[in-house]
Amino acid sequence: GGMFFMLMTCKVGSAPASSLSSLKLVEKGVDKQFMGMLAMCFAPVEIMATVLLSKWIAGSKPIMAWFYAFPVNALSCFLVGGIVWLLPALSPGEALPWQFWVFGLPVMISNSIARTLQFVSIMAFFTHISDPLFGGTNMTVWNTIANMGGNWPNYLVLKLVEKISWETCETGTTTAGELKRVCNNPLDGFVVLIACGAVYSLVWMLLMRKKIQQLAVSTSEDWRIGSIKKA
């Protein structure tokens, strides 16, 4: 029960940044192709990080590697959200400001590495606790639960962001006599959800620390099906 709850709730805090940041960047005029190329550039960094940290992840307590990467992921998600929010709207063809490359890119790389580390370490933990009598079925069940825990918060965030946002628009005329619609956004749902996600991640980490430490010291025998456990 505790493991199921952990997997279903651990990604709620990072959901606003992971599901809304790319949409917010497109809204501000960042080219979609550029974002795709940027994501591809992260792949070698993620692979290198996995190789360098593989010995630590493959130890006797992979779940602790996952937990230690949690605050890095949470902090980087909060910073990514703040950087995206502060990014000015771009005109067509306008380049990203230097602040994005100096501050935003390192934070995005840190977030990518943390997410990769969490994914690899939780898979290592699933391998550790899966009952060999059931082959890959047991591991598939855990992986499915983990995927569900990562997807449902994104759906919730996408539903909430418009309901939380408050936008006021006024229509006027330009000097050339053309109609012009100007909108102000005094309450941005993106900012609210990013802030709530940061608070949630902190509270979750404090509340679940002891439970994760208990999972870390559990043996593979503790995860065997009760009726066929070894005596």
DSSP for 169-227, please give it. EEEEE-TTS-EEEEEEEEE-HHHHHHHHHHHHHHHHHHHHHHHHHHHHH--GGGGS-GG
Lowest mean pLDDT among 38-47, 80-89, 98-107, 164-173: 164-173
pLDDT attached to residue 76:
93
Q: What is the mean predicted confidence (pLDDT) over 27-42?
A: 85
pLDDT attached to residue 177:
61
Alpha carbon distances (Å) from 186 to 88, 195, 222: 16, 16, 53
pLDDT at 175 over 60: yes
Q: What is the pTM of this model?
A: 0.82
**What is the average pLDDT value for the chain, to the nearest integer?**
84
What pLDDT band is residue 73 in, cutting at 50, 70 and 90?
very high
pLDDT attached to residue 30:
87
pLDDT attached to residue 32:
85
pLDDT at 229 over 60: no
pLDDT at 195 over 90: yes
pLDDT attached to residue 135:
63
